Amino acid sequence: MRKLSLKELNRVDTESFRQQEKTPIVLILDNIRSGLNVGSAFRTADAFALEKIYLCGITATPPHREILKTAIGATDSMAWESGALIDMVSRLKEEGYTILAVEQTNMSIPLQEFHPKKDSKIALIFGNEVKGVHEDVLPLVDAALEIPQYGTKHSLNISVCLGIVVWDLFRKMKN
């Protein structure tokens, strides 16, 4: 066994990436305090060729030192825009996206039990590291997803949570 070289990984260049077909998932990051978490979201979105990232509230926007540190160039390849949370969610809903809050609610669906409808477009909302998804947006969502946890902590770091949810939905949508 040996590690593959960067050339052997055969990744597309930024312009080719922009032109390729995307996975019909968008990320909505609302009031994310850490630029490192935002950068990680960019990198994950690039890895799974997601459509776009929406940055809302106090969430930092590129170019930002912490975002650039963890995104490692993904801010150049990923489409993104910033704006107000409710406006973004309302617009995406009108465009036919299924709006999913990644949050612990009294009606959350365990991630492993959620199966996206064929040909669906999904918008995933990730909220503040401490307060979670803003209460005001919950009436607009189609469902809330939750990653079951069995330890003493009540949540995962947003970058870890985002990676798990995106991978799970990507896998389900591609199979």
What gap in Å lies between CA 113 and CA 151, rounded to an integer?
Answer: 20
What gap in Å lies between CA 101 and CA 64, rounded to an integer?
Answer: 26
Domains present along the chain, CATH in parentheses = 21-144+157-174 (3.40.1280.10)
| Residue 119 phi, psi (nearest 5) | 60, 20
Identify the helix (H) or strand (E) that includes residue 66. Answer: helix 65-71
**Residue 29 near residue 126, CB atoms below 8 Å:** yes
Residue 141: its pLDDT value, please?
A: 98
Give residue 6's pLDDT band: very low, low, confident or very high (50, 70, 90): confident
Percent of the chain with pLDDT over 90: 98
Tokens of 95: 């465009």
12-50 pLDDT, tens digit each: 999 999 999 999 999 999 999 999 999 999 999 999 999
Q: What is the mean pLDDT of the chain?
A: 97
This prediction's pTM:
0.96
Tokens of 51: 């459509």
Tokens of 45: 């979105």
**Residue 30 near residue 125, CB atoms below 8 Å:** yes
63-100 pLDDT, tens digit each: 999 999 999 999 999 999 999 999 999 999 999 999 99
Residue 172: its pLDDT value, please?
A: 97
Using alpha carbons, select from 61, 26, 58 the residue that is nearest to residue 162: 26
Residue 175: its pLDDT value, please?
A: 82
Handedness of CA 74, 77, 81, 85 (dihedral sign): negative
What gap in Å lies between CA 166 and CA 172, rounded to an integer?
Answer: 10
96-150 pLDDT, tens digit each: 999 999 999 999 999 999 999 999 999 999 999 999 999 999 999 999 999 999 9
